[in-house]
Amino acid sequence: MCGIAGFIDFNHYSSHAILKDCTDVLSHRGPDGSGYEFLQEENFQVGLGHRRLSVIDLSNAASQPMWYKGFCIIFNGEIYNYAEIKSELGKLGHEFISHSDTEVILHAWEQWKELMVQRFIGMFAFVIYDTSKKEIYCFRDRAGVKPFYYYWYNGLFLFASELKSFHKHPRFKKEINQQAVYQFIQYGFIMAPLSIFNYTSKLLPGNYLQFHIQQSKFSIRKYWDVFDAYNKPKLDINESEAKKHTEELLISASKYRMVADVSVGVFLSGGYDSTAITALLQSYQQEKLKTFTIGFFEENHNEAEYAKKVAAHLETDHTEYYCTTKEAQEIIPKIPFFCDEPFGDSSIIPTTLLSQLAGKEVTVALSADGSDETFGGYNKYSLSLDFIKKINRLPIRDSVGKLLNYVPNSLLSQFTKSKAVAIKKQRIADLMQYPQITTPLIMDHLLSQTYSDEQMKFLMQDGVIKPGSFFDSQNELNDFSGQLDKMLAIDYKTYLPDDILVKVDRACMSVSLEGREPLLDHRLIEFIAQLPEELKIKDGIKKYLLKEIVHNYVPKELMDRPKMGFGVPVFAWLRNDLKYYAEEFMSEKDFERHGIFKKEGVKNIINRFFQGDKNFNSLFWYLLIFQIWYKQWMS
């Protein structure tokens, strides 16, 4: 795990000193070393910078930027199967001087060029400069575990692991993208390829960018897409066979992510996802795994007691720490710095605290993200499928939609299982008045929003057009995918990479901890996507197949409990001891500085929040985070 930064400058405004600044601002991603390559050509300048977190081959032979023949690479991530690829290359005549996966990438590039990435099992964002062809290639891993931003404006091409690198270049044009703001307020995160700034984008997962320097232009190509797996025919397989092969894939994926020359641990919450990884790994090794759990004194947010029981059963070397409210609250003002963009998922607070705990003992931590999007774990999937099934039986949906506005929120809350009942109710009412919208996928999309498009008009200034996203791409999925599979596939391309994985990457990297994701091994999703939907949600049991595997290692009675989100009572804090945040960041004058939101819309959200209306919890939080971000990066 590292940090990378660089540029192509056709105006010759850059320098070695600027490259160093752009790179060193990422020192939290790589505290163990740094390297810079600044090349001055007649018509352009190229800069390649690297901050190193030593994980595989701790010697100087693995330092970056790394050269091989006429190729230079900067690399963030890990290629877990590099030993097998290295062996294959060795048989083809390649010779190596280090034990690093970075060197393997360079030799693989010489041998197979772009096709090499199909062989990689890993998480990565890397840049290769081909000096003979005067071309730069930028790759991002299939699921989007590792971030990659790029900027192209007025003859300057910037790229980096985090946006904060761009701020260090004096020619970076810092201009807010209002479509990205729209998306942030509506969902709580910004989806690739959008970025908070104009002229700036995120490279989509499973894509690579090729910059033709002599033509001063670039092209982007896709080498992997989860939709392709879902568009294949379903496998003719029984439950026993599916369970056996899934378990084999989980074991392989988890073992690969233990490959390191430093200490490795596991985040353990006590839920099915992290328990699966811990149980599978502990059963295949004699040495006790190091597991880590954060506890909270607020009972509704505390999973530590469950994790402790699981750790005791599996006999891991377990560490737990109960955080104080003060420790958790101190994370809030740091969120905009480490996330670079407005980021609304408040579970980044406990994730950062957990990273701080693990980082004291290990350099690498395995995290269990991606299970819900792979095996079908979110409540919204079942709710959407069930709701549409019931609504489509109604002969007068549009009239029912209008009447729904008169149903008491207290009654409807029992059906929607949502805290923000009034807002959700309005969205459901809107849905029912449009007969052509009858799919669970559309229902799922609406429930994923905090504010509907109609409601956004009351907050955003006029003229801002809603940006498109993969939520609009259901037509790219064929009939082999059922309604559940379509929801899973789209969440894999939206919520997973742009919320969950951003959260884990930034939280881990804030303390120079490498986070690894066994459940995001591409071999696993390619297999699970082709399984029948009833193996994902069966008889109302979510993540059925994964749970059946876990029950082979941990008693069902130890695991069978309601799903608990990994969160903290941030809204209660903001109404009480953190109420001063509103005075510090959310005055009328503060909002006037950028003029992005309508005055009355902001005023209404703030007032309703402090009146105790839970429907406005998320909206207040998003506005606060935006304001803290604005002060951090735009002042």
* Per-residue model confidence as pLDDT tens digits over 479-490: 888 999 999 999
Hey, what are 420's tokens?
A: 């923000």
Output the pLDDT for position 411. 43
Residue pLDDT, tens place only, 17-26: 999 999 999 9
Residue 591 makes CB contacts below 8 A (sequence gap 6+) with: 597, 599, 602, 627
Size of the chain, expressed as the number of residues it contains: 635
35 and 160 housed in the same domain: yes
Check whether 407 has a pLDDT greater than 60. Answer: no
Residue in the structure block whose two tokens are 């919204």 = 380
Q: How far apart are CA 331 and CA 323, in angstroms?
A: 12
- pLDDT at residue number 415: 42
**pLDDT mean over 409-435:** 52
Residue 575 lies in a domain: yes
CB 190 within 8 A of CB 342: yes
Tell whether 220 and 274 lie within a shared domain. no
DSSP state of 460: B
477-512 core/surface letters (b: 16 or more CB in 10 A; e: else): beeebbbbbbbbbbbbbbbbbbbbbbbbbbbbbbbb
Exposure letters 400-426 (e unless 16+ CB within 10 A, then b): bbeebeeeeeeebbebbebebbbbbbb
Please tell me the predicted confidence (pLDDT) of residue 416: 43
Looking at the structure, tell me whether residues 107 and 21 fall in a common domain: yes
Of 68-77, 469-478, 624-633, the poorest mean pLDDT is in 469-478
Give the C-alpha separation, 124 to 145, whole Å: 7
pLDDT at 383: 86
Chain centroid offset of residue 43 CA: 38
- Give me the domain span that covers residue 273: 230-375+490-559
Residue 565 lies in a domain: no
Banded model confidence at residue 441, pLDDT cuts 50, 70, 90 = confident
Output the domain CATH number for residue 514. 3.40.50.620
Choice between 574 and 391, residue whose per-residue pLDDT is larger: 574
Q: Are 455 and 428 in contact (CB under 8 A)?
A: no
CATH number of 80's domain: 3.60.20.10
Closest listed residue to residue 491, CA positions, set 474, 505, 467: 474
Q: Quick one: 395 and 435 in the same domain?
A: yes
Q: Angle at which helices 599-610 and 617-633 pack, to 10 degrees?
A: 120
pLDDT of residue 397 exceeding 90: no
Q: Which of the listed residues 429, 453, 484 is the one where a domain comes to its end?
A: 484
Q: Token pair 């995160």 is at which residue? A: 189
- DSSP character at residue 298: S
Predicted confidence (pLDDT) at residue 580 exceeds the cutoff of 90: yes
429 within a domain of the structure (yes/no): yes
Report, as an integer, the average pLDDT of 162-184.
Answer: 97
Query: 580 near 364, Cβ under 8 Å?
Result: no
Using DSSP, state whether 76 is helix, strand or coil: strand
Q: 86 pLDDT exceeds 80?
A: yes
Give the count of domains, the chain: 4
Same domain, yes or no, for 89 and 72? Answer: yes
Q: Are residues 220 and 264 in the same domain?
A: no
User: Taking the CB of residue 203, how many other CB atoms lie within 10 A of it?
Assistant: 21
User: Once rounded to an integer, what is the mean pLDDT over residues 291-306?
Assistant: 81
The span from the CA of 310 to the CA of 54, in Å, is 31
pLDDT average, residue stretch 498-520: 97
Which pair of tokens denotes residue 433? 């008045």
* pLDDT band (50, 70, 90) for residue 177: very high
Q: Is 220 exposed, middle or buried (0-12, 13-18, 19+ CB in 10 A)?
A: middle
Write out pLDDT tens, residues 206-257: 999 999 999 999 999 999 999 999 999 999 999 999 999 999 999 999 999 9
CA-CA distance, 519 to 147, in Å (whole number)? 18
Span 543-552, pLDDT tens digits: 999 999 999 9
For residue 418, name the pLDDT band (cuts at 50, 70, 90). Answer: very low
Closest to 197 (Cα-Cα) out of 174, 168, 170? 174
In the predicted structure, residue 399 carries a pLDDT above the cut 60: no
* Catalytic hit among 2, 22, 72, 323: 2
More confident residue, 190 or 433: 190
Position 299 pLDDT exceeds 70: no
> Is 338 within the bounds of a domain?
yes
Long-range contacts of 596-601 (CB under 8 A, 24+ apart): 596/176, 596/178, 596/181, 596/460, 596/461, 597/459, 597/460, 597/461, 597/623, 598/458, 598/459, 598/460, 598/461, 600/458, 601/458, 601/459, 601/460
Residue 199 lies in a domain: yes
With respect to residue 564, please indicate whether it lies within any of the assigned structural domains: no
Residue 95 φ then ψ, to 5°: -120, 145
Q: Is residue 301 part of a domain?
A: yes
Q: Please report, rounded to a whole number, the percentage of residues in the chain having pLDDT higher than 70.
A: 91
State whether 611 and 512 are in the same domain. Answer: no
What pLDDT shows up at residue 409? 53
pLDDT value of position 1: 64
Q: Smallest Cα–Cα separation from 66: which of 106, 124, 114?
A: 106
Indicate the burial class of 594 (C-beta count within 10 angstroms; 0-12, 13-18, 19 or more): middle
Instruction: From 315, 326, 393, 378, select the one nearest 353 (Cα to Cα).
Output: 326
Can you tell me the distance from the alpha carbon of 212 to that of 103, in angstroms, rounded to the nearest whole number?
Answer: 24
Sheet bearing 264-267, strands edge to edge: 317-323, 290-296, 264-267, 364-366, 514-516
The alpha-helical segments, DSSP class H, found in 479-543 are 483-493, 495, 501-509, 522-528
- Give the CA angle between residues 288, 274, 267 to the nearest 5°: 65
The Cα 499–Cα 488 span in angstroms is 15
Q: What is the Cα–Cα distance from 494 to 514, expressed in whole angstroms? A: 23
Q: What is the mean pLDDT of residues 252-278?
A: 95
User: Do residue 413 and residue 370 come from a single domain?
Assistant: no
Percent of the chain with pLDDT over 90: 77
Average pLDDT over residues 379-405: 69
The pLDDT value recorded for residue 412 is 45
Tell me whether residue 138 is one of the annotated catalytic residues.
no
Q: Examine the pLDDT at 270 and tell me if it is beyond 50.
A: yes
Mean pLDDT in residue range 295-318: 86
- Which range is least confidently modeled, 174-178, 379-383, 506-510, 545-549? 379-383
Same domain, yes or no: 90 and 189: yes
Residue with tokens 């007969």: 435
- What number is the average pLDDT over the span 578-582? 92
Is pLDDT above 80 for 192? yes
Residues 220 and 102 in one domain: yes
What pLDDT is stored for residue 475 in this prediction?
86
Average pLDDT over residues 276-289: 94
| Residue 526 counted as domain residue | yes
Same domain assignment for residues 70 and 211: yes
Domain co-membership, 503 together with 476: no
Report the alpha-carbon distance of residue 162 to residue 177 in Å, rounded.
17
Is the pLDDT confidence value at 34 over 50? Answer: yes
| Residue ranges with strand state E in 519-589 | 537-538, 541-542
Whether residue 565 has pLDDT greater than 80: no
Cis-peptide into 395, omega within 30 deg = no
Point out the domain boundary residue: 164, 194, 224. 224
What's phi and psi for 295, nearest 5 deg?
-115, 155
Question: Where is average pLDDT lowest: 58-62, 206-210, 367-371?
Answer: 58-62
pLDDT at position 90 over 70: yes
> Which residue, of 442, 467, 484, is where some domain finishes?
484
